[in-house]
Structure 1
Amino acid sequence: MSALVLMRHGQAAFGASRYDVLSEVGVAQAQATGAWLRDRGDTPTVVWHGPRQRHAETAAQVLAKAGDWPGAQLVPGLDEFAEGEEVLVAASTLYGRPLSGPEAPARREQLRCYEGAYEAWSRGELGIPGRASYRDFRLAVRQWMRDVVAAPGAPSGQRILAVTSGGVIAAAVCDLLGVSDEQWCALVRVIHNASITEIVFSQGRASLRSFNSAAHLARELTSPI
């Protein structure tokens, strides 16, 4: 039996002109997670991260606290469906109002519109310029998961730590549990920064062991976005 540990990246710069950078809280979350994994003796056989800066920075901060672990490897299949600023641009089109910059509404309203945009995208009612459709995104994550779970010649007993984003984690969990597409949005909304989701697999079969655990983080470091 092997394990795939999906870690969401630390808090990024939501609402800023560039989302893809860790905040101070995000750095602290990643470091706390690395220390927690080290103290548990939870040493992976391989560490992966997605192609975004926040993925690589999170992995680097985890490794800085974890001790003598293997270096992190870039895995394009761990990419998110879009960047935060891209979703906000799509949301501005959907709602007909500025949602970033000096004219942005209060954070609560900004988040409501942000969620409304990716929900509309998931239903095929809204496009995110330069990004794949929801269907194609889901198919890409599904194929990546199949490749990991059924990798020919992969030894049993692997422990893979993969740093990625909430959309990828939600897609993987939806496929594992066989739930409807509508549940993808519900899962994305609740996935905490630096949370841990664990999948166990063997001989091409996979099961969900845990989802969205953030118990290793102090209360002041717990954040959903």
Structure 2
Amino acid sequence: MSTLVLMRHGQASFGAARYDALSELGQAQARATGQWMKAHGITPDKVFHGPRQRQANTASLLLAGAGFDSPAITHAALDEFAEGEEIFSAAEQFLGRSVALNSGRERIGILRDYDATCRAWANGEVRIPGRLSLGEFREQLRDWLSSHTQAQQASGQTQLVVTSAGSIAALVCEVMNLPNSSWYSLLRVIRNASLTEVLYSKGKVSLLSFNGVNHLPPHLNTSM
């Protein structure tokens, strides 16, 4: 058996003009994860990440913190289902009100609108221009997972995959054979820089752990 460790990127810049950038806290989360791996003797055989800056930077900072010198591999299939700005735009169209953080509304209300739009997208009630549906998104990740686990060269490997919450939720749905209705429930609880472990061997997969954050000190434990 080998282990696929799915890591959510560190905290991004939620509500900023450009979501796809790690906050200072997100950078600290990535470094702390690498330092934890080094302290516990965890050395991934390969590291993959999605195409977004926050995913690539998380992987880079983690590798530096762990003292690993192996380069990370970019894979387009590990992208998120949509960018923060796209979800905000879809939320305004769907709900008919501003979700900008400078609109004068309370942050909690904006977060609820953001979450409601993600749930509506999962239910097929909202389309995000240029983006896949949940079914298509799952299919893309299913193909990646299948090809990746079937191409296993040796047992006992540990491979790290830095991606986003939507992708991790979709992959867990695939591993557990869960319906689309379960995706949002998983999405909303996935923490920044959390670790989810999947065991695999010759194309067979099983979930070992989900959304672990015990490697992070309390002050670095965040959801958005």
Q: Provide TM-score, normalisation by structure 2.
A: 0.97
Equivalent AA in structure 2 for residue 58 of structure 1:
T
Secondary structure of 2:188 counterpart: helix
Measure, in 1, the Cα distance between the counterparts of 2:223 and 2:43: 26
Structure 1 position 77, deviation (Å): 1.4
Match of 2:199 in 1: 200
Gaps of 5+ in 2: none
Match of 1:57 in 2: 57
Equivalent AA in structure 2 for residue 80 of structure 1:
E
Aligned pair 1:186/2:185, yes or no? yes
Measure, in 2, the Cα distance between the counterparts of 1:24 and 1:123: 34
Task: Compute the RMSD of aligned alpha carbons.
Answer: 1.1
Percent identical pairs in the alignment equals 49
Match of 1:12 in 2: 12
Equivalent AA in structure 1 for residue 51 of structure 2:
P
Match of 1:211 in 2: 210
Structure 1 position 73, deviation (Å): 1.1
Measure, in 2, the Cα distance between the counterparts of 1:181 and 1:39: 38
Match of 2:129 in 1: 129
Structure 1 position 102, deviation (Å): 2.6
Measure, in 1, the Cα distance between the counterparts of 2:120 and 2:172: 20
Q: Which stretches of structure 1, 4 residues or longer, exceed 4 Å deviation after superposition?
A: none
Measure, in 2, the Cα distance between the counterparts of 1:17 and 1:109: 19
Secondary structure of 1:100 counterpart: coil
Per-residue CA deviations over 1:158-213 (Å, capped at 9, x if unaligned) read: 21111000011001111111222111001000000000001010011011111000
Match of 1:147 in 2: 147
The answer (yes or no) to whether the contact 1:8–1:165 under 8 Å persists in 2 is yes
Equivalent AA in structure 2 for residue 53 of structure 1:
Q
Gaps of 5+ in 1: none
Equivalent AA in structure 2 for residue 66 of structure 1:
A
The answer (yes or no) to whether the contact 1:17–1:101 under 8 Å persists in 2 is no
Per-residue CA deviations over 1:113-147 (Å, capped at 9, x if unaligned) read: 11111111111111111211111111101111111
Q: Provide TM-score, normalisation by structure 1.
A: 0.96
Measure, in 2, the Cα distance between the counterparts of 1:6 and 1:177: 15
The answer (yes or no) to whether the contact 2:101–2:107 under 8 Å persists in 1 is no
Match of 2:220 in 1: 221
Aligned pair 1:87/2:87, yes or no? yes
Measure, in 2, the Cα distance between the counterparts of 1:127 and 1:95: 13
Secondary structure of 1:102 counterpart: coil
The answer (yes or no) to whether the contact 2:101–2:110 under 8 Å persists in 1 is no
Structure 1 position 68, deviation (Å): 3.1
The answer (yes or no) to whether the contact 1:11–1:223 under 8 Å persists in 2 is yes
